[in-house]
Chain A
Amino acid sequence: MSITLSEAESRRVVSGYGVPVSPFVTGTSTAEVLAAVETDASVTFPVVAKLCGRAIAHKTERGLVRLRIADTDALAAACDELLGKAVPEDGEVEVLVSTMVDGNRELIAGLNDDPQFGMTVMVGIGGILAEAIRDVSFRLAPITEVDAAEMLDDLATQRLFGEFRGEPEADRAAIVEALVALARVGAEEPGLRSADLNPLILIDGKPIAVDALLEIEEDDDA
């Protein structure tokens, strides 16, 4: 049996390997969330708040995401609302608050334990059309920086990496570093079956994951 970790758990795992994720805090009550935002200077308004838990895989579909929250009062209201939406089947839940980052370019990156090739790492063109466009490149984890750079070369949509809509050229070295770190998650994290960083947004050319979802194999006796 495999289970999905909550977004907060997933973020902690991947960032532990050096994968860049947007700054975030969590709390199980509105007061706890507000206190956490207060003390963590890296989380700055506007923020996004999401209700997350292991049993919650489709936050957007259930309306469990609040975007562009401008201040503490609005955040308190959003937390109350989100926590009120939890149903008993969701199990343990918490509110995740992260700095709202905006960029025009979205990549998707991930891991998949392939039945023939073992753990693989992927990067591709992200966004809601990612699965339709299928402009992706895979390698077997772990990978070197050279492998990661070649993965980016493999993508057909190279124009996305140049200067784009007033944003600077993509920082290929930073993306390479993120992919090498992600592949290490795949190679080293016990029981991992798959991971999605979707999207991986380019901010000032550098990649930052604003969502993460890890699927792990649970021991049968667990």
Chain B
Amino acid sequence: MPDLGALFDPKGIIITGVSNHPGKFGFVTLHNLLASGYEGAVYPVSREPGEVLGLRVLGSIDDVPDGAADMLFICTPPAINEELLRQAAAKGVTAAFCAAGGYREAGAEGVEMEQRLVALCDELGIKLAGPNGQGVVSTPSSMCAQIVAPFAPAGKIAIASQSGNFVSSFLNLSNHTGVGVSRAVAAGNASVLGIADYVEYFTDDRETAVSLVYIESVDDGREMFERMAPLAARKPIVVVKGGASAAGARAAASHTGALASDDAVFDGMCRQAGLIRATDVEEAFEAAATFATQPLPDGDRVVVVTTVGGWGVAAVDAMADTRLDPAALPDDLMAAIDEKLPPRWSKNNPIDMAGGETRDTVPEILQLVAEHHDVDAVVLLGVGIQSNTASMMRNGPFFPDHGLERIVGFHERQDTRYAEAAVEISTATGTPIVVASELANAGPDNPAPATLNALGRLCHASAGRAVRSLHHLAGYSAWRQARGL
């Protein structure tokens, strides 16, 4: 396995091609690295020495102290990079991220340049990421070494993508939801390090709980299967795939060949290898965010807890397309809930509290449901409604008089509690509790989504999306159990 420590947790970084122009990649990378709070040594290098962003720009890599940097970030054109790599290797560099383009993607001459780059890195013992990639992010090292934004909060999701743009998309979603990232890397042309190499590293990485990968082309599907399956047995891997491959089109003499669409075969490979396949970027991120922050369910039985009828129905409807089972409530659980709620509660799954909740009801019912041995997972809906009411009062003409200040404070404290209870109870019971509210998007400052965000847990934007994430957790759990893992 390649040791990618110098790529993800370098002690010092040399950046080539750092100019004074804030629109150039070298400048942006230096800016992002400093802005993200990277604490290792940073050595900007340029043909034109001077000062950029308060740092002295060195005229040559030869001026970098021996052994002070182990990573080289390349923003210079192919023609001079071989020389730079030799100089960097002499200084102790063992990993390089080549952001520069002009390689394989640029035609025949570029192909040859890339072959030479690969051969040289091999000779020098340098692990090469890219070329033609947007960069690498590592929150444990406060490192945003990217030619574009953004950085992301610290967390347990590790991202590897064949599209740099989707690295940014995942990081944007991380910032929006508060569910953090450990590592992120754009594979670029992936001339040496590919998706499987990164996932291999993530699987061994203590900072990572789940890998999240975007795949566009599969050169050798059999090799991918053979490498990924043992990794999936150790840590979940969420996959989203774009594009269909032309290589799959062979004139089929058989019915089986005619039925073997790329998608059907890739899907089967994922099911066999234990890869969690999501249909799009949002679903992939949300699945990864749920894997990263929730315990795995032991089975498919889901109970919905809601303060509002409609979303409860929507959640159960959404389960029809999944492996999840909106199981009937066990008698003893019914009886226990009867003690807590007025008689008008739904008395089945979904548990619709029908406005019967008082100060402690929601946390108490969550606890009863989550700790029950016949319940594998919980969906909590209807959070944020009290604070939504409070918000209109707070911003209306009568606040803070007429008792409004007091009730506004109560409502907001309650939603904060519900969010906290979902986190605490799922952690304590080992039963996942996924939470959904459209306020995750429509009112992110509402205390319910805002508290989940601050605690690094996902507030799904709809019941259907929460169900979808849970489906992926349950599917992975079943895959493991069927294989005695």
Contact = CB atoms under 8 A, between A and B. Distances in A.
Interface of A: 2, 4, 108-112, 114-118, 120, 122, 124, 130-131, 134, 136-140, 143, 146-147, 149-151, 154, 193-196, 198, 213, 215
Given A116-B248, A138-B264, 5 more contacts: A112-B254, A120-B268, A140-B272, A193-B253, A215-B253
Contacts of B266: 117
B256 A196 contact: yes
Contacts of A131: 255, 258-259
Interface in B213-269: 218-222, 225, 245, 247-248, 250, 252-262, 264-269
A159 to B, nearest CB: 14
Nearest to B483: A146
Contact of A138 (B218, B222, B245, B267): B267
B482 interface: yes
A108 B256 CA distance: 8
A213 B253 CA distance: 10
A193 B218 CA distance: 21
Nearest to A153: B323
Contact of A114 (B253, B260, B479): B260
A213 to B, nearest CB: 7
A76 B52 CA distance: 96
A138 B268 CA distance: 5
Contacts of B254: 110, 112, 194-196, 213, 215
Interface of B: 218-222, 225, 245, 247-248, 250, 252-262, 264-269, 271-272, 479, 482-483
Given A117-B225, A139-B268, A146-B482, A194 B256 contact: yes
B316 to A, nearest CB: 19
A108 B248 CA distance: 21
A117 B253 contact: no
Contacts of A109: 256
A94 B251 CA distance: 28
Contact of A143 (B221, B264, B272, B482): B272
A150 B482 CA distance: 9
A198 B255 contact: yes
A180 B267 CA distance: 19
B90 to A, nearest CB: 41
B272 A147 contact: yes
5 contacts: A109-B256, A114-B221, A116-B218, A137-B268, A194-B252
A130 B255 contact: yes
A136 B259 contact: yes
B265 A114 contact: yes
A198 B255 CA distance: 8
A117 B259 contact: no
A122 B482 contact: no
- Indicate the member of B218, B245, B268, B271 with the most A CB atoms within 10 Å: B268
Nearest to A3: B253
Contact of A140 (B257, B258, B268): B268
A149 B272 CA distance: 11
Contact of B247 (A108, A111, A116): A116
A150 B250 CA distance: 27
Nearest to A114: B265
A186 B138 CA distance: 44
Which of B219, B221, B247, B262 neighbours the largest number of chain A CB atoms within 10 Å of its CB? B221
A118 B221 contact: yes
A122 B258 CA distance: 11
